[in-house]
Structures are given as structure tokens and as C-alpha cells.
Amino acid sequence: MFSQRPSTLSRRPSPTSNRQAWHDLPDLQHHHARRRRLTQLRWMAGIAGGAVAALWAGPLLWSCMCRLLA
């Protein structure tokens, strides 16, 4: 009988995978920046949509209130 001892080389990340992780790092940073930019654009679009709705509904509500109060 021979003893099987676990190989320590299989647990350690290979230099190739480590290099691949460093290679993927700019992609992950770019993805995070793109997500942050999309969130910012969505927030700005919400504000712009609210402003357009206020400009569109403002005169309509104003004329209705003037008629009701007159």
C-alpha cells in the first residue's frame, strides 16, 4: 500500500490564472464605471422626465384652477 498525499500544487492558483485575473481587472473596473454611469444617466433621465411632466401639466392645471376659482 502507498499513501496518497494531497498535492499542494493543485490548490495554489497557477500563474496563468493569476495573469488572467490581472488581465480581467481593467474589464471589471470598466464594467463598474459603466454601471455607475448608467445609474447616473437613469437618475438624470428621471429628473428630466419629471421636469417635462411639470412643464406639460403646469399650464393645464393652471388653466383648470383659474376656471374653477373664477
Please give the residue range of the domain that contains residue 57: 30-70
In a domain, 54, yes or no: yes
CA separation for the pair 11, 22 (Å, rounded): 19
The one-letter amino acid code at 64 reads C
In a domain, 9, yes or no: no
In a domain, 70, yes or no: yes
In a domain, 18, yes or no: no
In a domain, 55, yes or no: yes
What radius of gyration, in Å, describes the C-alpha atoms of the chain? 30
CA separation for the pair 64, 2 (Å, rounded): 94
> Is the confidence at residue 5, as pLDDT, over 60?
no
Name residue, grid cell 419629471: 50
pTM (predicted TM-score)? 0.45
Our count of domains for the chain comes to 1
CA separation for the pair 42, 38 (Å, rounded): 6
In a domain, 13, yes or no: no
pLDDT at residue 30, rounded to an integer: 73
- Tens-digit pLDDT profile for residues 15-68: 566 666 666 667 767 777 888 889 999 999 999 999 999 999 999 999 999 999
